[in-house]
Each structure stands twice: as structure tokens, then as C-alpha cells.
Amino acid sequence: MTYEFAKSNLTRTGYTDVVLVCADGGLGYPEHAPYDRVCLTAASRQIPHPLIDQLQVGGRLILPLVDGGTQTLTLLEKGQQGLTRRRICEVLYVNLQGRYGAP
């Protein structure tokens, strides 16, 4: 499992300031919110609302969004008036698993 592999590597290399979480990535990690930056490294058909909720005003969320058969790396910025969205480029990531996963 990826979690155990990462935990083993961090222990072996002496890192002690890393929080590992084994959970649904689309739900974020509210215990340490709000975040100024969030990077989702798996493709989603929709923007996971929990990640937006955990993002502070002025924060950025970058993720690959699936639209039809294409994945587009997308940057969202959370402002006082809401979100702005900018498409960056086409990409190819694995699909997110869980509630916001892409089939």
C-alpha cells in the first residue's frame, strides 16, 4: 500500500514533520485547514467541494479535471467574491478514487 511505503521511507530518512493521511483525498484534511495551497494529483470529474471549503481566501487549488475524454490541469483561486478558474494544459493523471473520483 502506498501509505505504508511512504511511512517507511519517511521513517528511514528521518523526516518527522510530515503528516501522512490514509483517506479519501477528495475530502481533504479539515484538521489542518485552512490551506493556502492544495494540489490534487489525481483526475476528478468535478471540483471536490470539501477542498474548496478548506481553502482560505486568497488560496489556490490545482487539479486535473476530466471533461469528456480529456483531462485539463486547472488552477482555481479563491477570492472574496468566489472562485476564478484557469485552464493550464492537457494532462494525463490516474483517476481519483472515492466520492469525487472519475470512473
pLDDT tens column, 28-72: 999 999 999 999 999 999 999 999 999 999 999 999 999 888 999
**28 phi/psi in degrees, rounded to 5:** 70, -155
d(CA 93, CA 72): 10
The reply to whether 10 falls in a domain is no
Which residue in 79, 95, 94, 9 sits closest to 45, CA to CA? 95
Residue numbers of the domain that contains 70: 25-103
Closest CA relative to residue 25, chosen from 10, 41, 12, 13: 41
Instruction: Flag whether 43 is in a domain.
Output: yes
| 8 found inside a domain | no
Identify the pLDDT of residue 103.
66
Q: For residue 92, give the CATH number of its domain.
A: 3.40.50.150
Would 76 be classed as within a structural domain? yes
**What is the rounded CA–CA span in Å between residue 12 and residue 18?**
13
For residue 12, the model assigns a pLDDT of 97
Q: Is residue 1 a part of any domain in this protein?
A: no
**Is a pLDDT exceeding 90 seen at residue 101?**
no
Distance of CA 71 to the CA centre of its chain: 15
